[in-house]
Amino acid sequence: MVTLSQALLIALDHHQAGRMAEAEDIYRRILNADPEHADAMELLGVLAAQTCRFGAAGRILRLAVALRPDGAGGLSNLAGVEQSAGTLDGAVRLYGRALRLLPDLADAQASRAGALRRLGQAEAALLATDKALALAPGHADALANRAAALLSSGDPASAERCARRSLRLNARSAVAHATLAATLAAQRRWAEAETAARDSLALDRNAGEAWEVLGAVLAKLGRFPESLEAFAAAERLQPGSSPNSSLYAARGTALIAMARPTEAAADFDRALADRPQDAGLHWNLGFACLMAGDYARGWPEFDWRRHDDRAEPPWRRLNQPTWRGEPLNGRTILLYAEQGLGDTLQFLRYVPLVVALGGRVVLEVQRPLLPLIQGVEGAAQVIARGDPLPPFDLECPLMSLPRAFATVVDGVPADIPYLRPDPVRVARWRDRLGAHAVLRVGLVWAGNPRFPGDGERSPKLAGLRGLLDVPGCRFYGLQMGPGRADLADAVLPDSFADLGPEIADFADTAAIMANLDIVVSSCTGPAHLAGALGVPLWLALPFSPDWRWLTGRDDSPWYPTARLFRQPAPGDWSSVAGRMAAELAVSAQRFSPLP
């Protein structure tokens, strides 16, 4: 007759060979004979977890731990089930108990790192992987979890190297392939990321993180129906009792790429239910609300950007209180730029409104804007960022002023122009441009390439090249910065003149624009300059634009002289240029020469 110990060995042999039904039958027979057989109970629980019956696995492993409370293996296995079920805090506590009993348990250290990373504790996760790899330098799972923690810490290149090391040790790890996909996506290597995500799913169709990464990547590639299908698969796989906040955050971001901000806001809300203090999520929610035109809700959420410790460069910390719109009664307030040049130009419109509430305004802007902004209406003092700050009582970033004034879409302060060019420079550029015999069109085709979404928002010269063939126009290149490289190999008509080498600063650009009939621009600083000057602005926008351009309209509450030309599909600049060219031809025919 077979003893229980022999039966356990037979069951274990079936288990390790993948014959799960046979192994489970023998484990249960052993437990019928001895209900307190701790090894059989634990292995039955492990088998249940491996066959994705996490509820049953948790119940069985709790019995195993009760039978052998000092068993590190049982505690670690139960922690793994809790982790799979999304009960991450409980999993970390159980891993801790197991490691106090058996500190050399490398598997527990590696898995604990994964739970800590999902809890947002990237530094603790890295420490746990250090311990696991000190115990087992070739631990593939520890390397995969380390890669994920490095990615959460903002180091995707190191994370990629770590994920590839893990895959060299275990090429059949679905988790490592999914992590590799995430590291590639973080580096905007979309095609490679899609391949890695699909490699993960080829090994395990139930790999939720792989579906999540695939959904995000497909959205970036403009394959929206496929993206939503991938996110739906990830959602079906998440534990019902513990929704995955990262899934909702990723899908929210994808819905922004689809220009569906209301749905995106709903997903960010779901993510925030689990991570209510996540500043980045609040910031994303603010972006979605503003893009949807819900300014009342959007501005407070958008202000969370100031609490995002992951921002680069870090947000400014000042000792003076932030102004929230209360009467100023003669107090001095520092208004300051915080993001791009275009953001500064857009929100300068609020300076006279602050003065009207009794404030003495010290205005701090980026140094390149100083020649343009010295005469901003109402500012008592204008300084450049980095200059010593004078004494002041209150502070407010320029981009928080809409919240202080409770700005709504139908009430945007749009008294245009609120910037005025230097008349001396205007006259000089009028002479430089010569006779005004045809329609004058300024052209800007690229923004700052360091901006993460510049590849989507900048058509480049090639994207707008079709405009230059419209007769009856004289085109002036106003492009500055790295975008000028597009001119090197371009074949351009005689009707195009590159003014870039002659432009000294933004004040020159403003003076040139004052002598033009239309400025055509991508979403970048000169577009805001044209709008602030009241010059007719034709704005070339990507399918999913920045929040300030809203959705589904061809005008802007911020700039009355702006016309918005939106991509009908991601990457389709030819349609934008075609519509612009047709409209430009009509404008050129209507133009009457000026003296």
The backbone torsions φ and ψ at residue 591, rounded to the nearest 5 degrees and listed phi first, read -70, 135
Q: Are residues 431 and 364 in the same domain?
A: no
CB 331 within 8 A of CB 360: yes
pLDDT confidence tier of residue 404, bands split at 50, 70 and 90: very high
Q: Which residues contact 575 (CB under 8 A, 6 or more apart)?
A: 567, 568, 569
Token pair of 567, please? 């991509």
Residue 314 has pLDDT above 90, yes or no: no
What is the value of pTM for the model shown? 0.88
Average pLDDT of the chain to the nearest whole number: 94
C-alpha 217/C-alpha 211 separation (Å) is 10
State the pLDDT at residue 241: 54
Report yes or no on 542 lying in a domain: yes
C-alpha 85/C-alpha 79 separation (Å) is 10
C-alpha 339/C-alpha 337 separation (Å) is 6
pLDDT confidence tier of residue 312, bands split at 50, 70 and 90: low
Report yes or no on 571 lying in a domain: yes
What sign results for the dihedral spanned by CA atoms 346, 348, 353, 358? Answer: positive
State the pLDDT at residue 452: 83
Partnered with residue 575 across adjacent β-strands are none
Give the three-state DSSP class for 266. helix
Residue 10 has pLDDT above 90, yes or no: yes
Token pair of 339, please? 């993001």
Residue 595 has pLDDT above 70, yes or no: no
Q: Are residues 443 and 362 in the same domain?
A: no
Per the model's pLDDT, the better-predicted residue between 88 and 549 turns out to be 549
pLDDT confidence tier of residue 99, bands split at 50, 70 and 90: very high
What sign results for the dihedral spanned by CA atoms 502, 505, 509, 514? Answer: negative
Report yes or no on 142 lying in a domain: no
C-alpha 298/C-alpha 393 separation (Å) is 27
Q: What integer is the mean pLDDT of 434-447?
A: 96
Provide the percentage of residues in the chain whose pLDDT is more than 90: 87
State the pLDDT at residue 584: 97
State the pLDDT at residue 87: 85
Domain final position from 388, 411, 434 = 411
DSSP class of 562 = E
Instruction: Tell me how crowded residue 268 is: count the other CB atoms within 10 A of its CB.
Output: 30
C-alpha 375/C-alpha 317 separation (Å) is 28
Domain with 501, as residue range(s), is: 423-590
Q: Are residues 512 and 547 in the same domain?
A: yes
Domain final position from 411, 442, 463 = 411
Token pair of 4, please? 């229980």
What CATH number does the domain containing 385 carry? Answer: 3.40.50
Q: Which residues contact 369 (CB under 8 A, 6 or more apart)?
A: 337, 341, 344, 345, 506
Token pair of 61, please? 């492993």
pLDDT confidence tier of residue 592, bands split at 50, 70 and 90: confident
DSSP class of 465 = G
Report yes or no on 36 lying in a domain: no
C-alpha 186/C-alpha 562 separation (Å) is 34
Q: Are residues 405 and 439 in the same domain?
A: no
C-alpha 345/C-alpha 385 separation (Å) is 15
Q: What integer is the mean pLDDT of 529-557?
A: 97
Encode 61-73: b = buried (16+ Cβ within 10 Å), e = exposed. bebbbebbeebbb
Q: Are residues 496 and 577 in the same domain?
A: yes
Q: Are residues 347 and 468 in the same domain?
A: no
Token pair of 383, please? 């300084």
Residue-wise pLDDT tens digits, 138-179: 999 999 999 999 999 999 999 999 999 999 999 999 999 999
C-alpha 478/C-alpha 328 separation (Å) is 40
C-alpha 198/C-alpha 230 separation (Å) is 11
pLDDT confidence tier of residue 421, bands split at 50, 70 and 90: very high
Q: Are residues 376 and 489 in the same domain?
A: no
Report yes or no on 509 lying in a domain: yes
Token pair of 126, please? 């890295």
Report yes or no on 318 lying in a domain: no
Strand blocks (E) in 331-420: 332-336, 360-365, 379-384, 394-397
Query: Would you mind telling me the total number of residues written for the chain in this entry?
Result: 595
Q: What integer is the mean pLDDT of 464-485?
A: 96
Token pair of 549, please? 């351009």
CB 479 within 8 A of CB 512: no
What CATH number does the domain containing 470 carry? Answer: 3.40.50.2000
Report yes or no on 28 lying in a domain: no
pLDDT confidence tier of residue 593, bands split at 50, 70 and 90: confident
Q: Are residues 457 and 431 in the same domain?
A: yes
Q: What is the dihedral of CA 303, 306, 308, 309, to 10 degrees?
A: -170
Between the alpha carbon of residue 498 and those of residues 95, 416, 435, 520, the distances in Å are 65, 28, 17, 14
Give the three-state DSSP class for 474. strand
Q: Are residues 554 and 443 in the same domain?
A: yes
C-alpha 217/C-alpha 36 separation (Å) is 49
Q: Are residues 393 and 440 in the same domain?
A: no
Q: Are residues 456 and 556 in the same domain?
A: yes
Residue-wise pLDDT tens digits, 226-283: 999 999 999 998 765 556 889 999 999 999 999 999 999 999 999 999 889 999 999 9
State the pLDDT at residue 313: 62
Contacts of 199-202 with CB under 8 Å at 24 or more apart are 200/174, 200/175, 201/174
To the nearest 10 degrees (0 to 180), the angle between helices 106-118 and 72-84 is: 30
Between the alpha carbon of residue 343 and those of residues 58, 184, 308, 314, 356, the distances in Å are 53, 30, 19, 17, 22
Structural domain count of the chain: 2
Instruction: Tell me how crowded residue 488 is: count the other CB atoms within 10 A of its CB.
Output: 7
C-alpha 136/C-alpha 149 separation (Å) is 18
Domain final position from 390, 411, 432 = 411
Instruction: Tell me how crowded residue 595 is: count the other CB atoms within 10 A of its CB.
Output: 4
Single-letter code of the amino acid located at 98? A
Q: Are residues 444 and 583 in the same domain?
A: yes
Q: Which residues contact 403 (CB under 8 A, 6 or more apart)?
A: 299, 300, 302, 303, 324, 325
Report yes or no on 289 lying in a domain: no
State the pLDDT at residue 143: 96
Give 517-529 as a DSSP string: SEEEEESSHHHHH
Q: What integer is the mean pLDDT of 506-526?
A: 97
